[in-house]
C-alpha cells in the first residue's frame, strides 16, 4: 500500500489525508524524507558554480518539503491526540531529527557556500526580502555552531541530540501525570459547584470510567473547581496534585531532567562564546539583553506585588469571617477571590457562563476578522485526525486564503494548554502555497459547550496567532507568519484579545444558551468592569515564572533548580498565597523545548505593544477603523519576519511604546 505521507495529496486544498495515514506510516516515511533532504543538501554543496542566492539560499528554502509534510502531520497528532505508539515515536524521532539538523548546520561545505553568498551580497542585486532571508540563514547557522570545529563541533552535536531527548521526555512525563491523576468527588464533593462544573466533572468521570464525577488536572476543570468548591480539604488535595505535576518521584519526575537541560544549555552557549544561555538566546529578540528583560519585569513586579498583598489581606479577612483558621493558602485564593468579585462587582461566573457558548465565540472571532480584514469562513467537510476537530475554508473577495482547523476540547490524549501551529505555512517560493492553520485548546467538553470569560479570551488569543499565519504575504517560508522574534510573536495574539471586550461584539455574540437573548447591558457592564479584577494575582504568578526562567539561564546553571527556584522567589518577596503560574517541573514553555527558554517574559514584552496598539483604535473611537486595520495587516500581520520587529511596530504606530499602557490596562496604575 502507498504510504500517504509520501504521496501527493489530492485532498481539498492539499490538507493531510488523516483518514489514510496510520501510525505505522510515520517511521518509514521519516526515513525516506530525511534521506531526500540529505540528497538535496548534498546537491547544494556539490554545485561547483559560483555561489548565488538562488543556488544556495533559494535551494535551502525549497529543500525538505517531504520532511515538512511528514513532520507537520506527526507533531500535530503527537501533541493533540497522543497514544503510546506516538509517544514511542516521539522518543525515537527527537534525537534522530536533532542529529539530522545538527549535521546540516555543522556541514562545513554548506556553510562555506552560505558564506560565499554573504561575502558577495553587495554585488548580487538582492531585494529587501532576500537580504533578510540571507542574513537570517547565515545567523542561524552561526548560532547553531556552524563555525565550530573539532571537538567543539562534535560536542555541540551531542548537546543538541541530548536536549531533544530530554525535551520529549519532559513533555511526556507531564502528560502522564496529568492523565493518570483524578479525584473522585462523590455527591458531597459537588457542594458549591455550579451546574456547568458539575456537568464537566460528571463527563470527566465517564471518560475516566470512575464511579461518578471527578476532578482532573485539566485546567478547564481544576480552575473552576478551585474557584467554586466549598470543600477546602478537596481544594487543597486538587491544588497540590496540580502543582506537583512532574515532581511526584518515580519515572515521571522531571526535576533531574530540568537540571540537565539547564546545564546543557549553558554549555551550548559557552561553546558559542556567550557568557550565559540568556545572553545567547536574547541576542536575536527585541529585548536584546537579560538586563532589558529584567528592567521590564521589575517595572511591573513592584506595583503587581503591592496590589496582590493588599488583595491577600482582604481575602484573608473573608476567610476568617468564614471561621477558617490558618493563613490564606494558594488553594484558597481563587475561591475567595470569586466570592469577593461577586460582592464588589455583583458578578457571578455561573450567571455569566451561559452567555459564552463556544460556537458563538468562534462566530465572534470570525466576525471580527471579517470586519477588520474582510475574511470569510465557510465550513469544510474533510477527514481530520479527531472527531472533535472542524475545519473552515477561509476566503477574501472569493479567493482562497487559508484552511483553518479548530480542535477545542480537552481529552486525555492531548497535552495541556492552548496553541496555534501551521501545518503548512504561507509561501510563494518555490511555488505559491496557502497556509493550513490549526488552533488547539483544552475547553471542557459538554453539550452545549460553555466557556468562562478567560476561556473566551484564550480562543481569541489563539485566533490572533492564526490570523498572523493566514494573512502572511511573503515569498519565503522561513520568514512566513509567526516566524518572528519570540517577544514579538505574541503581539498579534494578545492584541486580538481586545476585540472580545468590544461592547458591540459582546452585545451581538454573548447570547444566552437557552433563550438566545443578548447579555443584558447591566451584566455586560459588570463583565467589562471586572476585566482587571484580581490582576495583582494574575500578574504576580506570571512575572514570578518569567523571573525564574530568566534567572535559571543567567550565569552558571543551578545544580538544584528547585532550590534555586525557592531562592529566587524569596528574593522577590513572593506573596505566600500565590504560586508560580508554571512551577519548574511542569514549565513546558521553558523545558519542553528551547522556544520560550529565557523568553517567557515575551508575553509581557508583547503586551506592552498590544496595549499601545489597541489604544490606537481607541484614539480613533472605532475598534474596527478600516484605515488602522489595513495598517495593522500591512505592517504586522502580513509581513512575517521580513523586517526587524521594532521596525514593523514603528511603521504601524509611529514609535515604540512604554510600560505605562500595560500597567494602566492591567489596572495597576491610575
The answer to whether 392 and 380 have CB atoms below 8 angstroms apart is yes
Q: What angle do CA 232, 235, 239 make, to 5 degrees?
A: 140
Nearby residues of 45 by Cβ (< 8 Å), 6 or more positions away:
107, 109, 110, 113
Query: Alpha-carbon distance 385 to 403, whole Å?
Result: 15
441 φ, ψ (degrees, to nearest 5): -130, 180
Which residue reads 493550513 in cell numbers?
A: 436
User: Which are the catalytic amino acids?
Assistant: 462
The answer to whether 362 and 452 have CB atoms below 8 angstroms apart is no
Q: What angle do CA 79, 434, 396 make, to 5 degrees?
A: 115
In 3D, which of 380, 373, 387 has the Cα closest to residue 19?
387
The answer to whether 347 and 241 have CB atoms below 8 angstroms apart is no
Task: For residue 402, give the C-alpha cell.
Answer: 487559508
DSSP track, 54-120: IIIIIHHHHTTHHHHHHHHHHHHHHHHS--HHHHHHHHHHHHHHHHHHHHHHT-HHHHHHHHHHHHT
Helix pair angle (330-344, 290-321), 10° resolution: 70
Query: Alpha-carbon distance 328 to 336, whole Å?
Result: 9
Q: Identify the bridge partners of residue 438 per DSSP, sorted by sequence position.
A: 405, 421
Nearby residues of 213 by Cβ (< 8 Å), 6 or more positions away:
184, 185, 186, 189, 190, 198, 201, 202, 204, 205
502 φ, ψ (degrees, to nearest 5): -65, 125
Q: How far is CA 517 from CA 167, 336, 348, 502, 522, in A?
A: 48, 30, 18, 18, 14
The answer to whether 314 and 304 have CB atoms below 8 angstroms apart is no
Query: Alpha-carbon distance 331 to 299, whole Å?
Result: 28
Radius of gyration of the chain (CA): 25
Q: CB-hemisphere CA count at 13 Å for 544? A: 30
For residue 13, the tally of other CB atoms under 10 A from its CB is: 18
Query: Alpha-carbon distance 544 to 567, whole Å?
Result: 12
Query: Alpha-carbon distance 549 to 590, whole Å?
Result: 7
User: Pairing between strand 399-409 and 436-443?
Assistant: parallel
Nearby residues of 180 by Cβ (< 8 Å), 6 or more positions away:
none
Amino acid at each position: 500500500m502507498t504510504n500517504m505521507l509520501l504521496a501527493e495529496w489530492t485532498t481539498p486544498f492539499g490538507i493531510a489525508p488523516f483518514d489514510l495515514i496510520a501510525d505505522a506510516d510515520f517511521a518509514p516515511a521519516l526515513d525516506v524524507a530525511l534521506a531526500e533532504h540529505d540528497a538535496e543538501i548534498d546537491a547544494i554543496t556539490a554545485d561547483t558554480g559560483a555561489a548565488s542566492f538562488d543556488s544556495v539560499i533559494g535551494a535551502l528554502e525549497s529543500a525538505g518539503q517531504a520532511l515538512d509534510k511528514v513532520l507537520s502531520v506527526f507533531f500535530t497528532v503527537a501533541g493533540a491526540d497522543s497514544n503510546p505508539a506516538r509517544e514511542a515515536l516521539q522518543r525515537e524521532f527527537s534525537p534522530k531529527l536533532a542529529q539530522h539538523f545538527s549535521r546540516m548546520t555543522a556541514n562545513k561545505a554548506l556553510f562555506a557556500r552560505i558564506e560565499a553568498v554573504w561575502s558577495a551580497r553587495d554585488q548580487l542585486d538582492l531585494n529587501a526580502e532576500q537580504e533578510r532571508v540571507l542574513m537570517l540563514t547565515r545567523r542561524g547557522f552561526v548560532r547553531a555552531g556552524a563555525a565550530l570545529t573539532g571537538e567543539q563541533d562534535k560536542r555541540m552535536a551531542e548537546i543538541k541530540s541530548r536536549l531533544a531527548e530530554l525535551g520529549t521526555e519532559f513533555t511526556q512525563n507531564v502528560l502522564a501525570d496529568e492523565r493518570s491523576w483524578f479525584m473522585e468527588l462523590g455527591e458531597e464533593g459537588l457542594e458549591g459547584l455550579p451546574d456547568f462544573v458539575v456537568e464537566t466533572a460528571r463527563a470527566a468521570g465517564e471518560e475516566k470510567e470512575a464511579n461518578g464525577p471527578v476532578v482532573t488536572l485539566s485546567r478547564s476543570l481544576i480552575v473552576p473547581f478551585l474557584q467554586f468548591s466549598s470543600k477546602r480539604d478537596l481544594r487543597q488535595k486538587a491544588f497540590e496534585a496540580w502543582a506537583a505535576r512532574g515532581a511526584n518521584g518515580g519515572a515521571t519526575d522531571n526535576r533531574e531532567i530540568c537540571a540537565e537541560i539547564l546545564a546543557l544549555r549553558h554549555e551550548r552557549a559557552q561553546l558559542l562564546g556567550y557568557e550565559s544561555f540568556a545572553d545567547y538566546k536574547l541576542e536575536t529578540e527585541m529585548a536584546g539583553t537579560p538586563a532589558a528583560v529584567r528592567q521590564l519585569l521589575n517595572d511591573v513586579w513592584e506595583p503587581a506585588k503591592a496590589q496582590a498583598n493588599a488583595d491577600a489581606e482582604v481575602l484573608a479577612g473573608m476567610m476568617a469571617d468564614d471561621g477558617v483558621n490558618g493563613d490564606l493558602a494558594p488553594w484558597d485564593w481563587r475561591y475567595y477571590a470569586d466570592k469577593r468579585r461577586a460582592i464588589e462587582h455583583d458578578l457571578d461566573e455561573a450567571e455569566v457562563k451561559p452567555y459564552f457558548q463556544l460556537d458563538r465565540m468562534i462566530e465572534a472571532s470570525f466576525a471580527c476578522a471579517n470586519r477588520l480584514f474582510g475574511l470569510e469562513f465557510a465550513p469544510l467537510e474533510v477527514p481530520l485526525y479527531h472527531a472533535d476537530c472542524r475545519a473552515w475554508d477561509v476566503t477574501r473577495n472569493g479567493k482562497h486564503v487559508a484552511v483553518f482547523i479548530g480542535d477545542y476540547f480537552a481529552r486525555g490524549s492531548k497535552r495541556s494548554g492552548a496553541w496555534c501551529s501551521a501545518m503548512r505555512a504561507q509561501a510563494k517560493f518555490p511555488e505559491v502555497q496557502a497556509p493550513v492553520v490549526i488552533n488547539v485548546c483544552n475547553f471542557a467538553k459538554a453539550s452545549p459547550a460553555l466557556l468562562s470569560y478567560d476561556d473566551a479570551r484564550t480562543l481569541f488569543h489563539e485566533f490572533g496567532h492564526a490570523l498572523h499565519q493566514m494573512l502572511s504575504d511573503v515569498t519565503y517560508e522561513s520568514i512566513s507568519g509567526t516566524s518572528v522574534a519570540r517577544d514579538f510573536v505574541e503581539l498579534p495574539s494578545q492584541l486580538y484579545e481586545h476585540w472580545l471586550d468590544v461592547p458591540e461584539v459582546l452585545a451581538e455574540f454573548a447570547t444566552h444558551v437557552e433563550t438566545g437573548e443578548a447579555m443584558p447591558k447591566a451584566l455586560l457592564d459588570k463583565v467589562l468592569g471586572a476585566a482587571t479584577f484580581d490582576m495583582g494575582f494574575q500578574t504576580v504568578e506570571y512575572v514570578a515564572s518569567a523571573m525564574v526562567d530568566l534567572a535559571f539561564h543567567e550565569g552558571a546553571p543551578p545544580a538544584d533548580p528547585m532550590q534555586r527556584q525557592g531562592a529566587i522567589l524569596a528574593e522577590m518577596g513572593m506573596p505566600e498565597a500565590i504560586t508560580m503560574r508554571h512551577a519548574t517541573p511542569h514549565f513546558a514553555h521553558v523545558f519542553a523545548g528551547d522556544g520560550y527558554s529565557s523568553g517567557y517574559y515575551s508575553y509581557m514584552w508583547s503586551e506592552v505593544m498590544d496595549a499601545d496598539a489597541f489604544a490606537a483604535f481607541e484614539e480613533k473611537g472605532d475598534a474596527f477603523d478600516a484605515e488602522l486595520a489595513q495598517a495593522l495587516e500591512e505592517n504586522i500581520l502580513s509581513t512575517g519576519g521580513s523586517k526587524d520587529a521594532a521596525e514593523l511596530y514603528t511603521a504601524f504606530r509611529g514609535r515604540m511604546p512604554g510600560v505605562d499602557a500595560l500597567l494602566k490596562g492591567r489596572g495597576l496604575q491610575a
